[in-house]
Amino acid sequence: MKVRFGIIGGGLMGRELASAMARWFMLTNFPSQVELVAVADIAPRVLEWFRQVPSVDLLTTEYRELLARDDVDAVYVAVPHDLHEQVYVDTLAAGKDLLAEKPFGIDLRAALRIQSAIGERFVRCSSEFPFFPAAQGVYEFVSSEEIGDLLEVNSAFLHSSDLDLTKPINWKRQSVHCGEAGVMNDLGLHVLHVPLRMGYRPTNVFAQLQNVVRERPDGAGGRAPCDTWDNATVHANLEGGGIMRLETKRLAPGETNTWSIEVKGTRGGAKFSTKEPKTLWTSRGGSAQWSREDIGHKSVIPVATGGIFEFGFPDALLQMLAAFVAERNGHLEGRFGCATVDEALDAHRVWTAALESQRSHKAVPL
């Protein structure tokens, strides 16, 4: 079965998803095919890049033209957060399935309005890091209940490029486009996807949010206000015991796109960081020892890539897109799937409570 895709928003992520589609032949015995047929972006220079993709026969600055086409089955939308609600709702109203980008609406209210427009459509939200093989290793280790009673979950996504104070402002650093939750909107679903899938539900949230860089060059010789939260550290108590620390940071010295997850219990634990992309750490039987194992290219959806080779960001995106297509077409067969709409909404609930906690300096119940 072939799924014909459109992309709305051909920036950083639109190009990444186009590239994932172009590598489809690496999937082994995968019954569904994909084809990128149309791309919409308001910037003509962004559209030019997609002329390299032979299957694309519509490049348009008007996304509704893409949605009007009968030969588009599903749409990947990667636009600034303030546009999510309108573009997602229009996509669903046009009868298309949707691979949405996080945070799935600029805030919880927008996310709920998108949810109410879904109807019969198949909708998932982008979150690719759990598809790293060693992240899957953590998930499987924890699911097998080898950790005993849960002690703590630490989940983080860290960047450092904002430490460069000469970096010009962009939409991700402006509340009006990124949302009041700032860095939590940007990086938050990435840190909550796996804990939520593991069944860890916060009962209350205490947040420490920092807006350190308050203005940036505007790219035209002047200065512009930078009014989003740069760093967020959010502490939660979990249903059934255990605590969770969630970190989303743009000002984290020494870190470039470092995604990590660590789960510890009374009988052991497991951890993974993209800093060591092939390494799964586990501790068993309540011992004082952590063991490391090199995990090769052991992917959720089998691929032709040699099993000894390292896994990277483009591989994770290919896996995520393949999981979307497999689930849509009914052949995911119990394997790890993309973030669901409920998970995206739960993430918004946590960040909404975190904002309230920052205002009140108190733990906020969920």
Ligand X SMILES: NC(=O)c1ccc[n+]([C@@H]2O[C@H](COP(=O)([O-])OP(=O)(O)OC[C@H]3O[C@@H](n4cnc5c(N)ncnc54)[C@H](O)[C@@H]3O)[C@@H](O)[C@H]2O)c1
How far apart are the C-alpha atoms of 157 and 129, rounded to whole Å?
10
Nearer to ligand X, 8 or 37 (CB): 8
Using CB under 6 A, which of 12, 220, 304, 308 touches ligand X? 12
Dig out the tokens for 180 from the structure: 């009041």
- Residue 63 binds ligand X (CB under 6 A): yes
Of 121-180, which residues contact ligand X (CB under 6 A)? 126, 128
Part of the chain binding ligand X (CB under 6 A), chosen from 7-15, 89-97, 196-204, 229-237: 7-15
Nearer to ligand X, 10 or 269 (CB): 10
How far apart are the C-alpha atoms of 21 and 33, rounded to whole Å?
9
Dig out the tokens for 220 from the structure: 């035209």
Sequence letter at residue 340:
T
Q: How far is the CB of 304 from ligand X (least distance, A)?
A: 24
Part of the chain binding ligand X (CB under 6 A), chosen from 4-12, 17-25, 233-241, 298-306: 4-12
Using CB under 6 A, which of 2, 25, 28, 43 touches ligand X? 43
Part of the chain binding ligand X (CB under 6 A), chosen from 2-10, 24-32, 288-296, 324-332: 2-10
- For helices 341-360 and 183-197, angle between their N-to-C axes, nearest 10 degrees: 120
- Residue 101 binds ligand X (CB under 6 A): yes
Please, which residues have CB within 8 angstroms of residue 331's CB and are 6 or more apart in sequence? 31, 32
Dig out the tokens for 71 from the structure: 């030969």
- Residue 1 binds ligand X (CB under 6 A): no
How far apart are the C-alpha atoms of 353 and 360, rounded to whole Å?
10
Q: Is residue 81 within 8 Å of 185, Cβ to Cβ?
A: yes
Part of the chain binding ligand X (CB under 6 A), chosen from 72-80, 108-116, 206-214, 343-351: 72-80
The residue length of the chain stands at 366
By the criterion CB under 6 A, which residues form the site for ligand X? 8-13, 40-43, 46, 63, 78-81, 83, 101-102, 126, 128, 186
